[in-house]
Amino acid sequence: MRSPAELADALPYLMGFYPDDSVVLVALHGERGRFGGRVRLGIPADRTQWSDVADQLAECLVSAGQDGSPRPTAIIVYLCQEPAEGENGRDVRDRLQPFAQRLRTACGALDVPVLEALCLSNGRFWSYCCPDFRCCPADGTPMVMPGTSVMAAAAAYAGMQVRGSLKDMEARLRPRTGQRAVEQEKALDAAARALVPRMLRPDGAAVVRKDTLDLAAAMIHRFRQDTPTGSNRARDACDDALITNAEAAGLILGLQDRVTRDRAAEWMDGTAAAPALRLWRALARRCAGSYAEHATAPLTLAGWVSWSTEDGPSARVALGCALSLDPDYTFAQLLHRAINEGLDPEPLRRCLREQHQEATSAAACAPSSGAKRSPSAKRPAPGRTAPAGRPRGPRGGTGPGARTTGGRGGRRSGHADRSRR
C-alpha cells in the first residue's frame, strides 16, 4: 500500500495535469495496487448533488471494468479545490469531508473499497482515512514540488509529463477578449454575409469546401515554416500573429460543415500533426463573442489530433471544452468515449487515410472544367502542404484583420451551416 504522500505526489502524473476544483477517482488493480482507469468531474457547488454524483462516478469507474478490462480491486479518491476567499486549506478539507464520505460509501456499495481519500488544497494535502497524526498532521502535509520526487523520476523515465494546471490548459483554448475580440467578430460577420450567396451558386457547397480545405492546407504550411519557442503563452501569441482575422473567419465558418471537418481531420499524424494542432487551437481562440459555439469544431479537431499523437490529457481537455459548448456534438462525444475507454486511435487514422486516398483518386479521375489548374492549387496530402505567404505584421501581434462597415445580419447565416455530427 502506497503512503498518502506517494499518492498525493502521483496525481498530476496520473492525469497529465494538475486538476483544479475536481474530484478524481483512480482504480487500483492487483495486490501491488497497479494504477488503472480514472474518472474526473468538477466538484458540484450544490451539496444536494453530491450523493448522485458520488453514485455516478463510482458506477462509471467500476462498470468500465465490465467491458473486458479487469474490475478494480480498490479505489483512491482525490478532492482538489483551492480555498475560497476567507478560507484556508483546513476549511476546504472540513467542507468537503461529507462528499468524501459519500464517495467511500458509493464505492463500498459496489464491493470496491476506497483505500485512501485525499484532499489537496493550497499546496498541502490531508487524508480522510489515515488517523496517524505523525504522517497526516491536522495542519496538512506540504505537497512535494513537481519534479523532485521518486515518483517524478519514475514518471520521467516512463515518458509521462505534467502539462501544467487544468486552468492553464483550458486558457490556451479560450476565445479572445477586448478589442481583438471585437475585430475578429466583425471579420466573422463579414465572412458570414459573404457565405450565403456563395452557397447558393451551382456547386456552391463543393466550392466552399474546397476553398476551406485549400486555405487550411496553406495555413498548416505557414505554421510549419514558423515554429515559435518560449512559454505556452508566448507560442500562442506567435501563432495568433500567423493568421489574419479574415483567414480565421473563413476557416471557422467553413469547418462548421461536417464533410469539411472530417476532411480536415486527415491532418492527424506525421509532419502535419503539430502545425494542425496549433492551427485548431488558434481558431478556437478566434471564436469570439456571439460566435463562441463555433469553436466546437476546431476544439474537437484539436482533441482528435492530441489523441492521435498520444497526448491523452490535452485531448480530454479540448474535447471537454467542445462538449461544454455543444453536449450533442457527436464527433466529440465519440472521441471522448473512446479515450476514456482506452481505445487505440489507429483504426480511425486508417479510415481517414483511406478517405484521403479515395478523395485524391476521385479528383484525379474527374474531368477537368475551365482553365487548367496548376499543381500548387491541388490540396496537398497530410504532412505535405503547399507553400503560402505569411501575413504582414510583427511576430506576436494579432495580425491585420478584415475591415467591415456593415451590420451583423449575416451572423446567423454562418451558424446555420453548422453540423452537430
What average pLDDT score do residues 57-74 get?
A: 79
What average pLDDT score do residues 195-199 get?
A: 86
Higher pLDDT, 141 or 374: 141
What average pLDDT score do residues 54-61 get?
A: 92
pLDDT at 382: 52
pLDDT at 170: 87
Per-position DSSP letters for 373-408, written without gaps between them: PPGGGSPPPTT-----PPPSS-TTS--------S-S
pLDDT at 224: 93
Per cent of the chain over pLDDT 90 is 47
pLDDT at 416 over 60: no
pLDDT at 417 over 50: no
pLDDT at 259: 92
Q: Which long-range contacts does 157-165 make (Cβ < 8 Å, 24+ apart)?
A: 160/13, 160/16, 161/16, 162/12, 162/13, 162/16, 162/17, 162/18, 163/16, 163/17, 163/313, 163/314, 164/17, 164/18, 164/232, 165/17, 165/18, 165/20
User: Predicted confidence band at 149 (pLDDT cuts at 50, 70, 90)?
Assistant: low
Query: Average pLDDT over the chain, rounded to whole?
Result: 81
pLDDT at 15: 74
What average pLDDT score do residues 289-313 get?
A: 93
pLDDT at 94 over 60: yes
Q: Which of 94-98, 110-114, 211-215, 339-343 has the lowest mean pLDDT?
A: 339-343
pLDDT at 395 over 70: no
Backbone phi, then psi, for 75, in 5-degree steps? Answer: -140, 145
What average pLDDT score do residues 295-300 get?
A: 96
Per cent of the chain over pLDDT 70 is 79
Summarize pLDDT for 312-361 with one digit per residue, the tens. Answer: 888 988 998 999 999 999 999 999 888 877 788 888 888 888 888 887 77
